[in-house]
Amino acid sequence: MKKIQICMLIAIIVASVWVYVSREEEPPKSIQVGVSLYMENDTFLEGIVEAMEAEALLYEETTGISVDLNVSVANGSQREQNEQVKRYINLGYDAICVNLVDRTSAATIVDMAEVGERQIPVVFFNREPVEEDILRRENVYYVGSEAKESAIFQGNSVVDAYAKYGDIMDKNGDGILQYVMLEGELGHQDAIIRSDYSVQTIEDMGVTLKKLETGTADWNRQNAYAMMGKWLDIHGDAIELVLCNNDDMALGALDVLTEREMTAAVFGIDATDAGLEALDAGLLWATVDCNAEDQGCAIIQVLTSSILEGTAATTVSYLDGRYVRSEIFELKSEFWQ
């Protein structure tokens, strides 16, 4: 009996040493992450990806675990995005981050990332799926900012500017701000909500607006340049206020205004680097910092803790355990702060 006990003890010690030694010899772990973006050349998304890369490096420095990001772009095609996700899953990736082409396609991706017993974590970002799809199973998250909040900030900035510089903004002095609205992509939650609440905030605070034009420029500087050019051909100097769903479109409007040596008060959202430059130069009146940096960090924190601990990170603030909403800020040009 004693012999058996001694043998068992030796076996346990040998096993423990073996586990310890083999753990010590384990090569540094790495996490493979597949990222799919709806489109290339989107300035705000580039900011989020840069922040993800920086946070991944920091994670590797502090834990020794490398986070390898493989980024692909879906060129506006949901079919292409599904193929990209399928490829990541077939390659055995540990997590998938998706900036959806079509916000209604989230369920397909969530289901694709469930392989037998394996529930691969999926982090959607920037384009928000319906809650039902996020709650479809465990390990599905959304990182983004609150569209309504950014619109209210934009509206407040216009009202503040009007209180201070009403005489400059209201070029024809009729007590009404004639405005045009450059909108992001059709169906995008940020475009719909920002357009509605920006105008509503301004009107609710007692500033009278008159809509001259509104149009979709797909978040894009060149499209906005072309659209604003047409509107200036039609309305000329009657355009007093340019409300833009993002900075890139605000910059497109400013490009054409500058080219034609015309003025109008232009307001953006995002706080991209180029947007901030225009703000510093006093061209853009105000923007809203949607905190691309914080969003990128949150995505990495959510997925690493989801993979390694099987649970959501505690370092980022959660709403319902599945949503991260980045804090955002109003930024005004220095000339009228």
CA distance 157 to 144: 22
Contact region for ligand GAL (CB under 6 A) — 41-49, 90-98, 156-164, 166-174? 41-49
- Give the whole-angstrom CA distance, residue 241 versus residue 243: 6
127 binds ligand GAL (CB under 6 A): yes
Shortest Å, Cβ 188 to ligand GAL: 6
Options 84, 246, 295, 304; binder of ligand GAL; rule CB under 6 A? 246
Return the closest-CA partner of residue 238 out of 203, 210, 199. Answer: 210
Q: Report the chain's terminal Cα–Cα distance, integer Å.
A: 86
Contacts of 279 (CB under 8 A, 6+ apart): 271, 286, 287, 331, 332, 333, 334
In the list 55, 190, 289, 293, the residue contacting ligand GAL (rule: CB under 6 A) is: 190
Q: 86 or 103: whose CB is closer to ligand GAL?
A: 103
d(CA 317, CA 296): 14
314: which 2 tokens? 């505690």
Collapsing DSSP to helix, strand or coil, 123 comes out as strand
Q: Determine which helix (DSSP H) or strand (DSSP E) holds 69, and give its type and residue range.
A: strand 66-73
Shortest distance, position 36 Cβ to ligand GAL, whole Å: 13
Cβ closer to ligand GAL: 170 or 255? 255
Shortest separation between residue 16's beta carbon and ligand GAL, angstroms? 52
Among 31, 35, 36, 42, binds ligand GAL (CB under 6 A): 42
Asked if 44 is part of the footprint of ligand GAL (rule: CB under 6 A), the reply reads yes
Structure tokens at 122: 């999926």
- Does 198 bind ligand GAL (CB under 6 A)? Our answer is no
Binding window for ligand GAL (CB under 6 A); candidates: 8-16, 18-26, 37-45, 74-82: 37-45
Tokens in use for 38? Answer: 């709806």
Provide, rounded to whole angstroms, the least separation between the CB of residue 225 and ligand GAL. 15
Residue 173 is classified by DSSP as -
126 or 304: CB nearest ligand GAL: 126
The contact set with ligand GAL (CB under 6 A) reads 42, 44-45, 126-127, 184, 188, 190, 219, 246, 248, 269-270
